[in-house]
Amino acid sequence: MSLHQYIVLPVILLFFHLGACSPGEEESPHESDPHMEHIKMNQHKHDFKPLTPGEIEVFSQKTDSSEIEKVTRTEDEWRGMLTRSEYRILRNEGTELPYRNEYNSETREGIYYCRGCHHPLFTSEAKYDSRTGWPSYWEPLAKISTDYREDNSWFMTRTEVICARCDSHIGHVFDDGPEPTGLRYCMNSAAMIFVPDETQDS
């Protein structure tokens, strides 16, 4: 490799990673049964009852993470309930492709829950268009929605955002977001389930 290539390659890599949740990785070919993947993808939509607006209001005020009833599962259990790409993101800190994901352009009002355990994560009120290609929020729904880990992969130090209930990876947080927090929670659509307000019980 020439000296020129030594310089250019890291610059190109850095360009891809700046402002991104993480490198966009192509889905690897897999041997999963497409029928089973389809069932898993839709199963969760019928598997839980979203909180009512009143319950969301109460939840949004919570600050004591000791109130959280933690969810732990074996790797087999995770694989059994998540599609391959969901598993890669939630359990292996993967990142979906920008723009080609379900909620980047979602503008309806509603609540985003964790795909892994249905913990309430974000509200549409804090969602904004960051032009990164990933759904972005300036704050989580409640202090007890999310937790954080240091991520030193890809020659950078970033702050990884995990679900405070099941510890699944959901994205990263950066300090280049809008007011009032100045934060940008850069999330993976496949790590979440969006429930629009019109489908929630009142």
Residues annotated as catalytic are: 186
Q: Are 192 and 115 in contact (CB under 8 A)?
A: yes
Nearer to Zn ion, 21 or 161 (CB): 161
Q: Which is nearer to Zn ion, 56 or 163 (CB)?
A: 163
CB 183 within 8 A of CB 138: yes
CA distance 7 to 94: 26
CB 43 within 8 A of CB 37: no
CB-nearer residue toward Zn ion: 82 or 183: 82
User: Residue 184 CB, nearest distance to Zn ion (Å)?
Assistant: 21
**In the complex with Zn ion, which residue's Cβ is closer, 96 or 133?**
96
β-pairing verdict for 169-174 and 192-196: unpaired
For the bound state, the minimum distance from the C-beta of residue 13 to Zn ion, rounded and expressed in Å, comes to: 30
Cβ contact 98:134 at 8 Å: yes
DSSP assignment of 172-194 equals EEES---TTTT-EEEE-GGGEEE
Q: How far is the CB of 118 from Zn ion (least distance, A)?
A: 7
Positions that interact with Zn ion (CB under 5 A): 114, 116-117, 119, 163, 165-166, 168
- Cα 31 to the center of its chain, rounded Å: 25
Rounded distance, CA 181 to CA 54, Å? 25
